[in-house]
Amino acid sequence: MTTRRLPGARPEAPAAIRPAAPPPVDAQLRAERAAANAGLPTVEFAEATPYETYVGVRQLQALVRPVTDHPAEPAFLVVTQVMELWFTLLRREWELAQRQLRADDLDGAVASVRRSVHHLRSLDASWGSLLWLTPAEFNGFRDSLGEASGFQSYEYRHVEFLLGLKAESVVRPHRGLPVVHADLQRALAAPSLEDDVLAFLARRGLPVPAAVLARDRTVTHEPDPAVTGLWAEVYRDPRPSNELFALGEALTDVAEVFTTWRQRHVTAVRRAMGAKPGSGGSAGLVWLERSAARVVFPDLWAARTTV
């Protein structure tokens, strides 16, 4: 089956860097192999298994490169790397939702947003693998991390930008990587997921103010009374048949679970290092608490007061 690429979709990776794919197998061939194997798995392969070819296990294992011999560091590193993968998946889902909204495919966009909520819950659950980390254990390898800090995660910045949390200052650390820096500058000025939602609502005839549709996209979104009122009107009809209510609830789920993840981040830092200065030059816990207090989709939350 050929998948239609929506306008604005990311181009596929060049063949030179695209990972090799295992040979495709259809339903008939799977049935024939199962019959030939008497129902047992295939165990003979001339080269690497198709699983290794597809997943790249050896490449993943090679990325687990602790810089100390402390037994706590591998878990810290792997959890951080896993979170980066979740950020990448969230970015893909929300960029897909944007393209679907621009194509007026509301059902597809809601499905993408709802999938992302499950990804966010898995991202949040990742903190469970670090609950045991005590200050003494963290101190056992922290100095060797140098100035490496989660603040420097550019994929996380894409996630924040897509949620409307914008700031030019967080792009600056990546000037040394021109491709990354250019991509972040583009994302800073590009519409957020909320911008595309509001543009969709405007095309549906809802009274989204022109000033909101044309607002500066490089700064964090602030609540707007007219948009709050618009969502309040949508929420006065919570029937399952109200597709805009379903969209609002899916976005609220995103905001809620993302906020939970940030709050657990604060708790994890407080537990492992207290109020010590951060590795990346910040005040540490105080700075993180301030950052985590920013509200995602503020109009959706404000509307609940007026319904």
Q: Which residues are annotated as a binding site for substrate?
A: 142
Binding-site annotation: residue ranges for heme: 265
DSSP category for residue 39: T
Characterize 40-61 residue by residue with b for buried, 16 or more Cβ atoms within 10 angstroms of its Cβ, and e for exposed.
eeeeeeeeeeeeebeeeeeeee
Contact 218, 189 (CB under 8 A): yes
Contact 22, 47 (CB under 8 A): no
Q: Is the dihedral of CA 68, 72, 75, 76 positive or negative?
A: negative
Binding-site annotation: residue ranges: 142, 265
Distance of CA 13 to the CA centre of its chain: 20
Comparing CA positions, the residue from 175, 151, 152, 163 lying closest to residue 97 is 163
CB atoms within 10 A of CB 26: 8
